[in-house]
Amino acid sequence: MWWTAVILGVVEGLTEFLPISSTGHLIVAGHLLGYTGEVANTFEIAIQLGAILSVIFYYRRKITTLVTHSAADADARRLLLGLGLAFLPAAGLGLLTHRWIKTYLFNTTTVAGALIAGGVLILLIERFHPPPRTRALDATTWRQALGVGVAQCAALFPGVSRSGATIMGGLLAGMDRTAATEYSFFLAIPTMSAATLYDLVKNVSLFTRHDLALLAVGFTVSFFVALLTIHGLLGYVKRHTFAPFAYYRIIVGLLVLAWAWTAAS
């Protein structure tokens, strides 16, 4: 069981900030490991806290500067308020649909379909998105913030990918890949914190002492793996498109569908 926590922590850390859906990969990994049910669903959501803290740690100096200079610096204030605006659409819709999504959509078939559809959309957006006009995180506009926030709503569907939806939303809104990726990282802090803490507080009574120890393991592993992933992704997007991730999504989605159909027959 300890190895299950480690494996899920690695999966979370690797996939949370890549446009390939951490929730989808965790659901599939949980089924392959035989770790399913309400406790498993909450565990998979709760270990996202490790990935959230990795963003805060990685950008600790930038975050400190933003907060301390927001009163006097118009760019810092606009960025923070824009992140708040981008947070609202998915937060409101998530509160309304959270229980329904967790009950009916946390399964391999819906994840596979979302992986494939998301992969196709990434390829289309990479080909047809407008030329970038915003190349710095601090230069994002209110309209761009709202566009990314609306795009993030699609990530409520398991398998879509929060990072994928927000990065692609950023590209469509006129950000370059680096600015869109960093905006996705920063937007993850309020969005994932709210969703994860909400689910954990509601379901913490389901956990035994042993479950909490496993949660600590998964949390710690996801923190360190996510830290490495953030650094690697920032280097990658300076020179490459997201097309390889799209092809990966499509292949994995087809494999998961084949596995699910084989298991059901």
Nearest to 263 by CA among 30, 32, 25: 32
Nearest to 166 by CA among 193, 148, 142, 145: 148
Q: What does pLDDT average to over the chain?
A: 92
- DSSP-assigned letters across all residues of 159-174: TS-HHHHHHHHHHHTT
Q: How many other CB atoms are there within 10 angstroms of residue 211's CB atom?
A: 18
Looking only at Cα atoms, what is the longest distance across the chain?
Answer: 64
- DSSP-assigned letters across all residues of 57-118: HHTHHHHHHHHHHTTT-HHHHHHHHHHHHHHHHHHHHHHHHHHHHHHHT-SHHHHHHHHHHH
Q: Is the dihedral of CA 247, 250, 254, 255 positive or negative?
A: positive
Residue type at position 19: P
Arithmetic mean of pLDDT, 214-238: 96
Burial-class residue 21 by CB neighbours within 10 Å (0-12, 13-18, 19+): buried
pLDDT of residue 1 exceeding 80, the answer is no
Distance linking the first and last C-alpha atoms of the chain: 29
pLDDT digits (tens, 9 = 90+) for 222-232: 999 999 999 99
The Cα–Cα gap between 76 and 67 comes to 8
pLDDT digits (tens, 9 = 90+) for 83-138: 999 999 999 998 888 788 878 787 888 989 999 999 999 999 999 999 999 999 98
Nearest to 40 by CA among 72, 66, 4, 94: 4
The Cα–Cα gap between 98 and 202 comes to 12
- DSSP-assigned letters across all residues of 203-223: HGGG--HHHHHHHHHHHHHHH
pLDDT digits (tens, 9 = 90+) for 172-207: 999 999 999 999 999 999 999 988 888 888 887 888
Write down the residue that tokens 């899920």 correspond to: 8
Q: What is the pLDDT of residue 134?
A: 95
Q: What is the pTM of this model?
A: 0.92
Question: Which residues face 134 on adjacent strands?
Answer: 175
Nearest to 65 by CA among 55, 79, 53: 79
